[in-house]
Amino acid sequence: MTKSKKYIVSEVYESFDELLNKVIDDDLPVWDGYKSSVSKERQDHSWSYGANLEDAVEMGLNGWKEGRDNMSDNLELANRSTKFERLPDYEYDVAGSMPNIPLYVAGSPTHMMSSLGNEKSSKKTIEILVNVGASCGTDADKIMWRGASILSLVDKLEDQGISCELIGCDYAHGNNGAKRYVQFMIKRAGQPMDIDRCAFILTHPALLRKILFRNLEQDIGAQDSYQKHGYGRVRDLPIHMRTGKVYFPSVNRMMPISIEHGVQMSVDAYEEQANGKDWDGSIIKD
């Protein structure tokens, strides 16, 4: 008897609109039977801020204006944080003043670091990869605080002249060794930040629990491994999947109790990686 092949899949969307267009395509088949449409149900405020799939798609297309307005005080508070005063400003290129050892070991050609403002340095772009995964018991407010703090950090970096490429991802393990990775572009480097859409993508729990759940429900091959197991178990990315990027871990690993706490965690994670360590300050091993 031959063993069945493990279900392992990777989906990469070049834009958030591409992901949305797939999610709203009613011609695509979806799961049937038990838990076939969690994405379409309207859960309570603590789960998805009361949004269903239709609401989530509308916010994904046009932005979460209410969330932007509600976040304004939080973002102002975050931007006033003294934590931002000590943000390390490094650029990465093939030449620079000092090496980033983990990037060198990983074989990245852009492993040399230079302080921003160095006249010899011309690259002022960083890639930021945000894992949007969160376990089912995670309160919606924690997702919002974590996302708002990252959004504030990106805004602050761009104010300093650093162009940020912002990418979202979700990595979930299923039953029998199944693994499923989804990645989508939020904002390309040099592109102005659409604060309304970014507010939805980074801070609204319906991004994960409606948009990405629906995307999973459209993956017929994933049904046996994910349908009866809570839509997968949240996992953080291994080093080789995020080399050369500033990585923010899943909400499970970055669980703020307030916006102030979220800012502290976001800045600390950025600072550790700018200094050649992992997001939590640990040494990256080959």
pLDDT of residue 166: 97
| Cα distance between residue 286 and residue 277, in whole Å | 12
How far, rounded to the nearest angstrom, does the alpha carbon of residue 213 sit from its chain's CA centroid?
A: 15
Low-confidence ranges of the chain (pLDDT < 50): 1-3, 82, 116-122
pLDDT of residue 159: 81
pLDDT of residue 74: 61
Give the strand order in the sheet containing 98-99: 90-93, 112-115, 98-99
pLDDT of residue 2: 43
pLDDT of residue 121: 43
| Residue 215, CA distances (Å) to 69, 184, 231, 247 in order | 28, 12, 11, 23
pLDDT of residue 85: 60
Burial 140-156 (b: 16+ CB within 10 A, else e): bbbbbbbbbbbbbbbbb
| Cα distance between residue 132 and residue 249, in whole Å | 8
| Residue 155, CA distances (Å) to 123, 148, 149, 192, 234 in order | 18, 10, 10, 10, 27
Judging by DSSP bridges, how do beta strands 163-173 and 179-187 pair with one another? Answer: antiparallel
pLDDT of residue 120: 40
| Cα distance between residue 269 and residue 256, in whole Å | 13
